[in-house]
Structure 1
Amino acid sequence: MQQAYKLSRLYALLDKNRTPESYFHIRLGSNFPIILDLFERLYSTHPYKKEAFENLIEILINRHLERSEEQKKLDLHRSKNPNWYSSNEIVGMMLYTERFNQNFKGLEEKIPYFKKLGINTLHLMPFLDVPEPENDGGYAVRNYRETNPKLGSMEDFENLAKNLHQNGMNVIMDFVLNHCADTHQWAIKAKNGDEKYKEYFYFFKDRTIPDALEKTMLEIFPDTAPGNFTWLEEQKEWVMTLFHHYQWDLNYKNPRVLVEMIDNMLFLANKGVDIFRLDAVAYMWKDIGRFNQNLPEVHTLLQIFKMCGQVVAPGIAYIAEAIVAPEEIVKYFGEAEAEGNECDIAYNATFMALSWEAIASGNTDLLRKSMYSVPKKPMNTTWINYARCHDDIGLGFEDKLIQELGKNPLMHRLYMLRYYCDEQGTFGRGKRFMQEPNGNARLSGSMASLCGLEKALEEKNDFQIHLAQKRIHLQHAIILSLGGIPMIYSGDEIASTNFYNYLNESDKKHDNRWLHRPMMNWDIAENLEKYPIQKSVFENLKKMISLRKEIPAFADNNDLEFIDSGNSHLLVFKKTDKKGEHVWVICNFSEYETTFPSWFIGLNKNVKNLLTDEQFSLQYQNFIGRYDVLWLTLST
């Protein structure tokens, strides 16, 4: 009765604040039956279902009323252009705030730097309140309503977001959905025996159920955090911890957890977030006897998050951080009747890993074969295309596809690891991450070091320095032309090499992923005239970003077409704009000059290389230099 009274008061308040342009009533009315249906699918027999759903509606109304007029205007603008994030004008950079320039105010100072390069979307690595020193790089959240005090206050973050928006820039944040820190208030209450909050997690008196669950669970950090459950000596119970012992998995089988996390997300949306990167979503639902990734209930949960976001903040977009097989990744865009009602964006992780495989092998057969096997994604969805990020490079290629090329999957992965870890006299300076007993591992290292620049600089080998720069240029040219959101990793724009000083940081020295999470070198970035190699990388990237924004075909209109040129050294694809005009991208992954045919464009056609402004007439066979990239369009 009390809840019904509260909702009636909220509806009255809502009517009082109704404006012709808000459309909130329409959004709530049209999405209400969908949200209710999804809620019923998960919680039809749950004792907290009614209470939780009423709380959810109350939250949606309250968060709408709190949303600023500027945000509502932006929501309306984006609603008229629903795939705004697919524009060729969007170019992102991901960074750790404290390693880039200390804090939120430090980031504000560097807005001119971002604009100079052409960056208009910032992905800020986790910045919420976390325990010290163990927090998995910020992915163990202690408080979803407070920022890390080292970076500034929530008010400082809001000011940063407003300043970025005024400069035409967007903010992406990591929203950690699967787990929270064991020092979060929910976990503390659970440790103290509060039954309500124990149900926010997975507690077990003995190993019977954990042992049954382990049979179908992956180990995410087998070296440093083996097993998926942690024994709590004081409580004499086990708790589920898929990632680290201090990250407790949230129990989404309890509808109260879902409602709390939706509220946290909408709270942060109102603080200025434009795009949420939904972290570790593949693991959000667990059942005995079912593999603990990509369960159907995960997709239902994400659809509820998306629908609730659509009601309150329809201008917000959502990224699925699901580093899984391609046929599973596309499901996170939504399938069948849910198509377009799940995540808007996903990581093109398979392409990223395969681009490094192609450089190592000098051969694009596996890359092309893998891309042909990826199911087509829905319209109005897009990829994040990246060459490096904060994480390791997982060699998660399809074994079947490697075998079809006549190769042994394990041997091929071990070849790549040796290639990038400088164990065959090769150019890479990477490190193995989470090595398995059979030698397989993931790979850490900065883009410049993996491309050979670190070694070439040490050896003062001008030719190898030149080749390393071309490999860096190749990787950036591809992600800028594939369509979707190109995401530059902070430091790559000035060819930052491996950051070995992480070994002197006590909380980081046991995790070699910090090798590629450098402190930004502002001496180089602000004095490029003194550093010709870094200046060349920066200026090349800046030029390509500027060009991308002028080429409508580089937007993502679900038009990407891979072409088999008959030359295994080449990756060739075509992008087409809404007027039907084409751009052909030709990439040479070989360290040698090679040729490409003209049949897919046309013999004797006059073309222009947009990257160099060079115009020429196509022959039967045409030369392309080592590690070169061509952006070709028909010249007029």
Structure 2
Amino acid sequence: MTLTAETLADRSATPRAADTNARILRARFRRLYGDHPDCEVILARIEASLSRHRAGRSADLLALDAEIQAQPRARSASGQSVYTFYVDRFATDLAGLAARADYLEALGVRWLHPLPLLRPRPGDSDGGFAVQDYRQIDPRLGDMDGLEALTTAMRGRGIGVILDVVCNHTAREHAWAQAARAGDPRYRDYYITVEDPDDVARWETDLIDVFPDTAPGSFTPDAEMGGHVWTTFYPFQWDLNYANPAVFAEMLDVLLYLTGKGVQGFRLDSAPFLWKRPGTSCRNQPEVYWIVEAWRAALSIVAPSVVLIAEAIEGLEDVLPFFGGEAPGCDLAYSNGVMTALWGALADGEAAIATKLIAAAAARPDGANWLNYVRCHDDLIWNALAAYAPPEDLARWSRFYDGQGGSFANGRAFQTAAGGVPSTNGMAASLVGLEDDPTPDGLAAKRLILLYAIIHGLDGWPLIYMGDEIGLMNDEAYADDPLRAVDGRWLHRPTMDWNRAQLGRAQGSVGQGLFGAMRHLGDAARWLNDLGIAGRAIPVPAGEPAVLSFAREAGTRRFLLLANMSDRSVPVTVPQGYAEARDVLGMADDDDGTRLAPYAVRWLVTP
């Protein structure tokens, strides 16, 4: 079946939009695969799949599509709080997660992002990022009916569900890999096997190890495959061959299948690695962006309410194209540079590096936005700031969060590629020193609230990492579990402490203070939209090195954030034009507009 406006238009996809997206999909697909002998056959198969999935979309999802299409800027509106977690660490399984909906609603969550929950390989699965079956749920967590029930229940509360889709690689136990090992030529071309060891060595010359200590190199010998299989991450994670159009089609069909289960967003895991080219690092090749644009167009035909998030922990110049070039790409991307820079600024007690990265992040296109965060399930990668800070700064920050040199932090150094500085592991509460200062009004709690107040004030969606809202600290017990002990990132992947979560809301506790602050920040960030605050965060001079200051001035009112990154009271100069502005956040400790207390934050909004 050929895609036309008539075959795809209905209550939620306008004829013009459907036709435009169909043209984009065809153009990107042919740009990628026009020289492949199966190009047109597979394109026709994709078009038939889109029509089939569109026809099968439920009435309530079609209504959601229509609602989003009627508000074209809904995806890029700021303040849509995202909560991210491992299901088994948070609530045991999907049924338990649904039972915690009141807690999530009380926190003010608008989006749930469970980390990988599709069926992983047995044993070590890199935290679920080695997928054995994209169409099944990890049996420890539930099944697809349970996922659909969860998405339906959460949608009724105004909460969307975002899933991780590990699009770069599968587990070697995946049915495709098993068929390839058995000699099926169709599936052997789903992966990349290099037969000559000299060719492997030539590829490796330009590649950068992701896990140089625990999984050095990017190839793994496999006798059944007759050579070395490309494995960017761990030996049990086989990179897919996106030079084969059938792989593109397979992954698109996975996305379409999951949208039918009510999934409203996808985090495209390891997206920069999708295309391999000799003589390069095999990251962020032009074809990667074309693939994302093609997926976006296809999803916009079937499920226009679905959001795409680029997980690209790369330099800004490589992240920006994920938002799209000649056509739309991802709706959001992780603002990794700003996140890392905020930790650097906190270590120094000076705002310079954060100011520099916030200014750079303003290069995002209209209609797209940043996913702003303080911590996530991965390590803090200082090397990501190499284009913005000298090596001695990176090394100093790395040492600081490893607890060296009188630091307040209780983090742990992690592995790094040759020539870089060690990354950092640790929960946010531990990195700000809550173990040594566990009081609700202490400097550690103020540091954590400071960081979250900044990301809620930036343009974009703020992300809360599970446990930060109650000050959950490092999980030292990970080292006693053989399946987790080999990966230091499990230090900051603890089990939710529900006793602390309940007690945390007891009056006067540090958990109560943090939970209340997170809820207040989410409400305040959404209120900024109602007040007419819009536009990118643009740094403005503050007259004091410790003060981070940025404005958002594209709306009907102007907004100015002032944040003291230091542990001392500092003078602050309010720029001209904000003399009559009032603090709508109300979280600063002092009432003197000429100074900021240690780690204090103000959100000033003009009348």
Q: How does 1:184-583 map to 2 (within 5 A)?
A: 184-335=174-325, 337-338=326-327, 341-374=328-361, 376-399=363-386, 401-402=388-389, 409-435=390-416, 440-457=421-438, 466-528=442-504, 529=506, 532-552=509-529, 557-576=534-553, 578-579=555-556, 581-583=557-559
Is contact 1:609–1:615 with CA below 8 Å preserved after alignment? no
Using the alignment, how far apart are the partners of 1:219 and 1:554 within structure 2? 47
Within 5 A, what are the aligned runs for 1:86-125? 86-125=76-115
3-state SS in 2 of match to 1:318: strand
Q: Classify the secondary structure of the residue corresponding to 2:165.
A: strand
Aligned CA distance change for structure 1 residues 631 and 199 (closer, same or farther; 3 Å): same
Deviation of 1:233 (Å): 3.1
CA contact (8 A) 1:500 1:515 kept: yes
Partner of 2:600: 628
Shift of 1:555: 8.2
Distance in structure 1 (CA, Å) of the matches to 2:532 and 2:292: 26
Q: 1:187 to 1:414 in 2, by over 3 A?
A: same
- Could you tell me how far apart the structure 2 residues matched to 1:364 and 1:414 are? 18
Aligned residue type for 2:399: R
**2: CA distance, partners of 1:75 / 1:439:** 45
Query: Post-superposition shift, 1:364?
Result: 1.2
Distance 1:307 1:359 in 2: 40
Query: What TM-score do the two structures reach when normalised by structure 2?
Result: 0.95
2:14 counterpart of 1:43: no
* Residue from 124, 137, 142 that aligns with 1:152: 142
SS in structure 1 at match of 2:11: coil
Shift of the 586–505 alpha-carbon distance from structure 1 to 2, 3 Å rule, reads: same
Q: Does 1:611 align with 2:594?
A: no
Letter in 2 for 1:352: M
Instruction: Indicate the SS of the match to 1:84.
Output: coil
Q: Which moved more, 1:81-90 or 1:587-596?
A: 81-90
Matches of 1:518 and 1:245 in 2, distance apart? 25
1:540: how far off?
A: 1.8
For 1:280, the aligned partner's letter is S
Contact 1:607 1:618 in 2 (8 A): no
What are the ranges of 5 or more consecutive residues in structure 2 without an aligned counterpart? Answer: none
2:21 equivalent in structure 1: 31
Cα distance per residue 1:368-404 (max 9 Å; x no partner): 22333446211110000000011100113544543xx
Q: Cα distance, 1:23 vs. partner?
A: 3.7
Q: Give yes or no for contact 2:316–2:361 (8 Å, CA) kept in 1.
A: yes
CA distance in 2, matches of 1:553, 1:155: 37
* Equivalent residue letter for 1:448: A
SS in 2 for 1:108: helix
SS in 1 for 2:375: coil
Whether the 8 Å contact between 2:114 and 2:162 is mirrored in structure 1 is yes
Query: What is the alpha-carbon distance in structure 2 between the residues aligned to residue 214 and residue 345 of structure 1?
Result: 31
Offset, 1:294 = 0.9
The one-letter code matched in structure 2 to 1:230 is: T
Cα distance in 2 for residues equivalent to 1:535 and 1:616? 21
Q: Counterpart amino acid of 1:379?
A: D
Question: Counterpart of 1:308 in 2: which secondary structure?
Answer: helix
Task: Work out the CA distance in 2 between the residues paired with 1:593 and 1:188.
Answer: 62
Task: Tell whether the 8 Å contact from 2:372 to 2:461 is kept in structure 1 after alignment.
Answer: yes
Question: How many angstroms does 1:549 deviate by?
Answer: 2.2
Segment drifting more, 289-298 vs 363-372:
363-372
What is the CA deviation profile of residues 523-568 of structure 1, one whole-angstrom value per residue up to 9, with x for unaligned ones?
Answer: 0112231771111111122222222222227888433221122311
Q: Is the 8 A contact 1:330 1:375 kept in 2?
A: no
Residue 500 of structure 2 aligns to a residue whose secondary structure is helix
- Sort the Cα spacing of 1:59 and 1:400 in 2 relative to 1 into closer, same or farther, 3 A: closer
How far off is 1:574 after superposition? Answer: 1.3
Q: CA deviation at 1:90?
A: 1.4
> For the pair shown, which has the larger CA radius of gyration, 1 or 2?
1
Cα displacement (A) at 1:77: 1.0
Aligned residues: 606
Cα distance change, pair 442–435 in 1 and its aligned pair in 2 (3 A) = same
For the 8 Å contact 1:553–1:576, the answer to whether it is kept is: no
Contact 1:85 1:485 in 2 (8 A): no
Identity of matched residues, %: 31
* AA matched with 1:157: L
